[in-house]
Structure 1
């Protein structure tokens, strides 16, 4: 493939979507969405795809890959657009394969918006939900189908969909599909497609395995790369904090309270770890939820919607659940666990700093994570700044006084200033939400009426410190 591979050259004169020759129906939809100028990946990919060539597209996540391939696909399919109610007039002509439910739903919503003023039908199928509703949609016909590989094969086996007229195949996040073991499913699906078709492969990272996959079914592809391989966005500030493994939970709470972020996405390597961390943060008064593979699709979508609406401020997720998540202006990502695969670091921090916005990526690194950190730095070809988390007592004082960079100036409204309890060690967590503590007396469970951390400041406000037993 390397010998036949071509490089796309971005057309500097293409500064508006109208310059690509897209139909008025598509341009009207883009205008509704506020799209004006194409991103670099769109500027390079759209003209090449419109020429009918195979494409290998690599770009940092959040740079507009979905529009980069879906807009020219819609343009190519407009010839087949019709208002007929007959399913036979709406066969699958473009198939978009993605690795996860969340990404499938996200791509579907985007494509549906772009196709708003056309007669082209769009459908999506993924696992984790009942097949019956999807069956009815598929049998009604749709020119564009977005699917996860496993669920698509389920529908093919039940003869709910036929791919005999599919002329365009898109693999989005191809590297993740390989990581998740979808290669056999991909090969089965490709074998069911017409031999003569256009193939588009898009991903944020390109490993040797991805290039081998592309070599197996792409025909003289044009390579479209707008950033060096495995690069991270310049507008994302990356920081590593050294921490003992046993102290990670408290360190996360410290960072969350200190920086007062409205939305934070935290990554855990395991499903059990994600659930455990979310529960612990909830107990400490933070609005948190977890999403991972053991959650139902309804639970995952409900948590994601609550996060986007601000009802949940901390979302703890595994890599599988988080791939494809798109949250507008997400300010911060925290790696509670460093990823086992270095490429996943690029995907994780790509959830923040999207579409040119600034973002922050924080990673907690214990002694056992050193090798993983070295692999990440080797991949992104840069050393990450490393800092230390203060000791617990100092952390509490910094949270109460807002002394660290990026913290709110909470000392101006601190209750300690008026009652003389500003000094180190004098209950700086006054504003921490009250959580009843269970204790056992004579075999019976009781609740302490006031948290220990509230006793001194409350008593001081009332005029004195109570003696023991009163």
Structure 2
């Protein structure tokens, strides 16, 4: 007998089903199918779920339904549900989702996080709030000031617990847990189950149900992954060329550093491609404005660091670009998980310097258990960039590292020079989308591809 795969079959109340229908959701994801009945039943839960799996609805929907069963509103400053998240952006995103699902029920939510005026938050907390979403540091600020009391907490959710531990929040989490009632429901969600996560779960959860819908460190099945081998100094020109050539109008680009994100966003903007950076040094209001512009399609390129991007949840985001590979291979999985979400197709492209990022690439491919497809764009491969133009002498400094090594190997061993990468049989170089066509060569004097069309 086939089980009906609907939200109604999971036991959700009519007001929640109405809110889901209004939001365009009709079929639960695997994490929602497994987690919602567990949470409704009151059990603790240990869930392995990566971004893009629908995990927020997996805990938010049943929690809201539980709160609907109360006859009275929560007391001022005394929430009944606490959802802890690692970043400001994720806290705002989760609270927005809770508000959406609770549109037709008298359950109020609120988010507290750093980067904004704490007094404004304190005034808002004078009203009843059933569900509080918070980052650990700002929550403790409110607890110490007496504007939030945790004595009425019935349900604790640790969302993206692995990232919270990576960011050094373990001590804050332990302080918070010490202030909670002993009798409560605990839900822990993590993309990976490291030894630290298992240790935390052992001390937090009591006889938990276990849900694993995303095997450890696997990448999204709907994300097509590829990479360009390109010298570091040419990455910017290649990115500009690709954005223009393929008319990408919503691209999330990852940079390793805050300074690098700022610099790249400025360079793209000067090239006529609207871009802004998102990282921890930005004021919270500025970060919210930037995210809203990107989600609404008013911003073509968002350049983000790993931590800042954890809260980015954009429906139908088509493209993620790793301008630089992350030092931690697991972060690659989190990055590309921003696209290909909720059943949509997505693409992830990496720009890889063959000398500086060879180790990171090996670690990533070992982690995901597959070789990422290499794609060439004429005029931007390392071998081509090392070739002198007509009438010019070879510039050893401009040669790609791999090419310099090959020349030295020739002199020492008398080998034949390495062959250039062969082109497809139709004579047209292969591009990122698999189509044929010869893109213009980069104009080094102007810092962008020659003959590029202006942005409309």
TM-score by length of 1: 0.81
| Cα separation, partners in 2 of 1:402 and 1:119, compared to 1, 3 Å | farther
Q: How many angstroms apart in 2 are the aligned matches of 1:74 and 1:428?
A: 53
> Deviation at 1:203?
2.2
2:68 corresponds to 1:78: yes
> Deviation at 1:119?
1.1
Q: How many angstroms apart in 2 are the aligned matches of 1:111 and 1:134?
A: 18
Q: How many angstroms apart in 1 are the aligned matches of 2:215 and 2:54?
A: 16
State the Cα deviation string for residues 240-277 of structure 1 (Å, max 9, x = none).
22111222212221222222111100000100000001
State the Cα deviation string for residues 329-351 of structure 1 (Å, max 9, x = none).
11100011111111111111011
Please say if residues 230 and 380 of structure 2, whose CA atoms lie closer than 8 Å, have aligned partners that are also in contact.
no
Partner of 1:406: 433
Q: How many angstroms apart in 1 are the aligned matches of 2:347 and 2:54?
A: 20
Please say if residues 242 and 389 of structure 1, whose CA atoms lie closer than 8 Å, have aligned partners that are also in contact.
no
Partner of 2:31: 41
Partner of 1:377: 365
Partner of 1:429: 450
Q: Which has the larger radius of gyration?
A: 1
231-240 vs 244-253, which moves further = 244-253
Partner of 1:24: 14
Find the residue that maps to 2:132 and give its secondary structure.
strand
Q: How many angstroms apart in 1 are the aligned matches of 2:108 and 2:366?
A: 44
Find the residue that maps to 2:91 and give its secondary structure.
helix
Partner of 2:261: 274
- Map of 1:315-334 to 2, 5 A cutoff? 315-334=302-321
Partner of 1:242: 229
Partner of 1:64: 54
Q: How many angstroms apart in 2 are the aligned matches of 1:316 and 1:139?
A: 37
Partner of 1:174: 161
Q: How many angstroms apart in 2 are the aligned matches of 1:232 and 1:191?
A: 36
Q: How many angstroms apart in 1 are the aligned matches of 2:71 and 2:252?
A: 40
Q: How many angstroms apart in 2 are the aligned matches of 1:106 and 1:31?
A: 19
State the Cα deviation string for residues 177-226 of structure 1 (Å, max 9, x = none).
11111111111001110111111011222222211211121112211011
Please say if residues 16 and 38 of structure 1, whose CA atoms lie closer than 8 Å, have aligned partners that are also in contact.
yes
Find the residue that maps to 1:163 and give its secondary structure.
coil
Partner of 2:111: 124
2:177 corresponds to 1:190: yes
- Map of 1:287-436 to 2, 5 A cutoff? 287-366=274-353, 367-392=355-380, 404=431, 406=433, 429-433=450-454
Partner of 2:273: 286
Partner of 2:3: 13
Partner of 1:439: none
Please say if residues 333 and 352 of structure 1, whose CA atoms lie closer than 8 Å, have aligned partners that are also in contact.
yes
Q: How many angstroms apart in 2 are the aligned matches of 1:239 and 1:207?
A: 28
> Deviation at 1:33?
1.4
> Deviation at 1:432?
4.0
Please say if residues 46 and 211 of structure 2, whose CA atoms lie closer than 8 Å, have aligned partners that are also in contact.
yes
Find the residue that maps to 1:374 and give its secondary structure.
helix
Q: How many angstroms apart in 2 are the aligned matches of 1:246 and 1:390?
A: 16
List alignment gaps of at least 5 residues for structure 2. Answer: 386-427, 441-447
2:100 corresponds to 1:113: yes
State the Cα deviation string for residues 360-379 of structure 1 (Å, max 9, x = none).
10111112211111221222
State the Cα deviation string for residues 268-289 of structure 1 (Å, max 9, x = none).
0100000001111111111111
Find the residue that maps to 1:36 and give its secondary structure.
coil
> Deviation at 1:64?
0.6
Q: How many angstroms apart in 1 are the aligned matches of 2:306 and 2:221?
A: 22
| Cα separation, partners in 2 of 1:12 and 1:288, compared to 1, 3 Å | farther
Find the residue that maps to 1:45 and give its secondary structure.
helix
Q: How many angstroms apart in 1 are the aligned matches of 2:299 and 2:435?
A: 20
List alignment gaps of at least 5 residues for structure 1. Answer: 1-10, 396-400, 417-426, 435-470
Q: How many angstroms apart in 2 are the aligned matches of 1:171 and 1:54?
A: 12
Q: How many angstroms apart in 2 are the aligned matches of 1:21 and 1:181?
A: 38
> Deviation at 1:75?
1.4
| Cα separation, partners in 2 of 1:365 and 1:403, compared to 1, 3 Å | closer
Q: CA RMSD in A?
A: 2.6
> Deviation at 1:139?
2.1
Find the residue that maps to 1:134 and give its secondary structure.
helix
Partner of 2:196: 209
| Cα separation, partners in 2 of 1:91 and 1:405, compared to 1, 3 Å | closer
Please say if residues 14 and 20 of structure 1, whose CA atoms lie closer than 8 Å, have aligned partners that are also in contact.
no
TM-score by length of 2: 0.83
Q: How many angstroms apart in 1 are the aligned matches of 2:324 and 2:452?
A: 29
> Deviation at 1:410?
9.3
| Cα separation, partners in 2 of 1:93 and 1:243, compared to 1, 3 Å | same
> Deviation at 1:403?
7.1
Find the residue that maps to 1:294 and give its secondary structure.
coil
Question: What is the aligned length?
Answer: 404
